[in-house]
Chains A and B, each alone.
Chain A
Amino acid sequence: MSEQNPDKNKAMGKTGVVEKPLPGLAGTVPSPPSEPLSLKSFLRLDLGFLPVLITLVLITIYFQIASNGFFLDARNLSNLVQQIVSTGILCIAAVMVLLLGEIDLSLAAVAQACAGVTAVLSVYQDWNPWLAILAGLLAGAIIGTANGFFIAYLRVPSFIVTLAGSIGYAGMLLLVLGPQSTLIVRDETIRGLAPNFLDSVVGWLLPILSLALYAGAILYEQQRRDKIGLKTKSVQQLALQIGGATVIVLAITALLQSYLGVPIAGVIWIGLVVFFWLLLTKSTFGRHLYAVGGSAEAARRAGINVTAMKIGIFAIASTLAAFAGIMLASRSTAVASQIDSTLLLRAIAAAVIGGVSLFGGRGSIWAVVLGSLVIGSLENGLTLLNSEQSIKNVVQGAVLLLAVTADALARRANSTRTR
């Protein structure tokens, strides 16, 4: 059907993209001179996920060789998925806030404080586990709304509000836990959230159905675009898009099925990522979030309620953090009174490594998956190699610095371009 060739494409002819002499004014508009290839022009290119994908592949190959083939073993991968879920959910929260152009340093403290609320209600008050979980999430929502109120309404920098928050919520955690340093969760429902696996039939059906929906949606859109005469993707592009997704999803499913099955925690995590992906790319809410992150002033003039948007995002982020904390408590079957110092940094690092800009408005939610995989693989692989914690920290720090530097350079290349 329609190719991407501008000469053949009927839609392109209509767009006014094709150069023609301007009636009414003498002369035509010359196309801007093409600039020489340089580091700057390279950085300006939107490479998307390519850099982080290459990084992930290199890490995988290295650990696969160094661990004598144990890294890509089904059992280890199943472990890896379980290890990164809490960080991964926290990373979704980090991405939402970063897209706004703000930062939330209280995510880890909120996660553990809210898990503390759930644990205390379950253990001491004997609440129904689902009600206890709901109460924990609600605590997260309230905390996030409070954060957002200070940031959006009173215009206090988010850095300071959430830094103060992280100290305060750590204190709140100690308060709810009382004299105990670690509160063991005994409830089977809460304990069962993270470590269980899907039934093997469901474990196959779920990914296959999702893939079918995905392919159907793409083909439907293609058909609609073709009918109106808009530019459509080539058959090769479609095949690559659908085929690529199918191969990746089915390969991972098969690997996990060959061990104990698909971990429920992983399904919840990916489900959340897909939900937020749809929210960010298909809804007005998502569009407006990117707009506020890109230019709050332009968004305000377009009639978007910037204050409400910011408060909403901080509320969502803290609720997600609460959920991450509950998953963490489920996995470790306890809530510790000490805030895990690297949890927050791993979440934000994963977002930035995945290509989400610290300056707002740029990045995809799939950064969560790729970034978490990079951070998680480093942790997991170095553990396999019996590396010291010191080495792990140095390597993870270096990878984060690299990612942030790339982000800053890309931003500078974009802003200094001639207009």
Chain B
Amino acid sequence: MSESKATTTKGELPRLQLKGINKTFGAVRALMDVDFEAFDGEVVGLVGDNGAGKSTLIKTISGAYIPDTGDIFLDGQKVHFTSPQDSTRVGIETVYQDLALCDNLDVVSNLWLGRESLQFGMLNEVEMERRTLEVLRTLDVKIPSVRVPVAALSGGQRQSIAVAKTILRKPKVVLLDEPTAALGVAQTRQVLNLILRLKEQGLAVVVISHNLHDVFEVVDRVIVMRLGRRAGTFEIKNTTPERVVAAITGAEFGD
């Protein structure tokens, strides 16, 4: 299994690739020569201790930070981001922890906010509702009604809506920042299921998480960050949480 995975990673062009990224904030070197890659239909876990550089790396990919040196490639093409809008335009969507939903609006309105479908200059509610149901069905998201205000939904459902919102824009890469933080057991399960659905859609999914248990449940490959460097890469099939923890903390792990 690990061999077949290895051949695909070597044989295919990564959907998203970062090479030799450096980023400093004053005297702090947040990222040092970091490489990163994500493939289609793959879930990549990005783990590391606080201050390891996960967030800086994600913000670099999403266009919020501009790296000092290093290149970003999408489908082998070099891209340059100066703002989050740039990365959204080429198909990289980020779901931040605060989700950015309007609690007072219903699910349909939230999903289409800023890109409403119109008919005769008026909101085409029927079309938007139809497409919403379609997307939620593909993602296997279960909510009582698409016409309830988002405030009435559970944390897991809200997370799902935030993800579905990005899917409507037909992205190539989805970045999820701590998607299971502050969720209960059942809701975490919902979100993990959602991540698998995204993978099924053929997207490259990047998940930042503190929760190794969740990571091991859905992720194909784990990239460990430590002190601003990429400290290791693990195929989930042939590693153990202990090894990953060792890489995170920098401890020696005897065989």
Contact = CB atoms under 8 A, between A and B. Distances in A.
Interface residues of B, number: 44
Contacts of B123: 281-284, 287
B151 A414 contact: yes
Nearest to B158: A419
B59 interface: no
Interface stretch (A147-155, A203-211, A294-302): A294-302
Contacts of B158: 419
B197 to A, nearest CB: 8
B145 to A, nearest CB: 8
A371 interface: no
Contacts of A281: 123
Interface string B73-104: 00000000000000000000000001011111
Contacts of A77: none
A16 to B, nearest CB: 4
Nearest to B182: A419
Contacts of B130: 228, 230
A: contact size bracket: 35 or more
Given A221-B126, A224-B126, A282-B122, A287 B109 contact: yes
B205 interface: no
A297 B97 CA distance: 13
Interface stretch (B4-12, B20-28, B44-52, B135-143): B135-143
A14 B133 contact: yes
Contacts, number: 113
A355 to B, nearest CB: 13
Contact of B109 (A24, A25, A291, A414): A291
Interface string A16-31: 1101001011010110
Contacts of B196: 24-25
Interface in A32-86: 32, 44, 46
B103 A295 contact: yes
Interface in A302-361: 302-304, 360-361
A32 B122 contact: no
Contacts of B121: 283
A281 B126 CA distance: 14
A232 to B, nearest CB: 11
Interface string B184-214: 0010011011001000000000000000000
A283 B122 contact: yes
7 contacts: A44-B152, A284-B118, A287-B105, A291-B113, A295-B103, A299-B113, A414-B103
| Nearest 7 Cβ contacts at the A-B interface | A302-B114, A294-B102, A294-B104, A361-B104, A303-B114, A302-B113, A298-B100
